[in-house]
Amino acid sequence: DLDVTGGRVTYDEVAFGYDTDEAIIEGIDFTVDSGETVALVGPTGAGKSTVLKLLLRMYDVDEGEIRIDGQNIQNVTLRSLRESLGYVSQDTFLFYGSVAENITYGTFDADRDDVIEAAKMAEAHEFIQNLPEGYDTEVGERGVKLSGGQRQRISIARAILRDPDILLLDEATSDVDTETEMLIQRSIDDLATDRTTFAIAHRLSTIKDADHILVLEGGEIAEHGTHEEL
């Protein structure tokens, strides 16, 4: 099992391609120290989401390795790895089931009060209360349709409730008004405090506050530094 002691994450000369003959990312080499936030920026298709998906082991690296506190993620159980990671994806996808079930997914000992508290922190409580059956409203294909911004807030609430060692945020560009965006930003800032965070960032505020910024271009690290340096 993975034993997270501080949440230091190292990518060691990582290369990967979806189709074996073409590398999508190459020579990815950096370390994020315990508690730090790294912002991943770069043009569409640069490989930002792919970098996170490799840490989640949604795909296996072709070359190099990724370590968490010195442990190669290939050598730990997938379950223990995923338990340590909280992932808010770019295309937030909800399961069949209620809003509450979607928020508690991946957490085993949460009661309704915990769910509501997490939803409040994610600025989701208000719209959830206004759904036909509140937290018991069915969502997903067979349930009510939620906007992209609402789905993302449910996904943030899920991450808040799970309280992961390492947080992965694939920030959505879309769908929320400025005020909601500010509120979401605040909850993300809270979530990122004191835990290792990877943020694929579009908002300048996320980028400015990061301890490092990695600029990806064409699957490689084009620049790496702080906001002041770049």
Binding site for Mg ion (CB under 5 A): 49
18 contact, one of Mg ion, ligand ATP, none, CB 5-8 Å limit per kind: ligand ATP
**Strand, coil or helix: 221:** strand
Exactly one of 10, 49, 102, 197 binds ligand ATP (CB under 6 A); that residue is 49
* φ and ψ at residue 103, rounded to 5 degrees: -75, -35
What is the Cα–Cα distance from 55 to 50, expressed in whole angstroms? 9
184-192: long-range pairs with CB below 8 Å, 24+: 184/122, 184/123, 184/149, 184/152, 184/153, 184/156, 186/123, 187/121, 187/122, 187/123, 187/156, 187/160, 188/156, 190/121, 191/86, 191/156, 191/159, 191/160, 191/167, 192/37, 192/167
* Binding span for ligand ATP by CB under 6 A among 48-56, 67-75, 78-86, 116-124: 48-56
Cβ closer to ligand ATP: 37 or 50? Answer: 50
Cβ closer to Mg ion: 161 or 210? Answer: 210
Exactly one of 2, 39, 46, 199 binds ligand ATP (CB under 6 A); that residue is 46
Contact 167, 4 (CB under 8 A): no
* Binding span for ligand ATP by CB under 6 A among 6-14, 39-47, 61-69, 72-80: 39-47
- Is 201 among the residues that bind ligand ATP (CB under 6 A)? no
Cβ closer to ligand ATP: 188 or 216? Answer: 216
Exactly one of 50, 71, 92, 187 binds ligand ATP (CB under 6 A); that residue is 50
- Residues near ligand ATP (CB under 6 A): 18, 24, 42, 44-50, 90
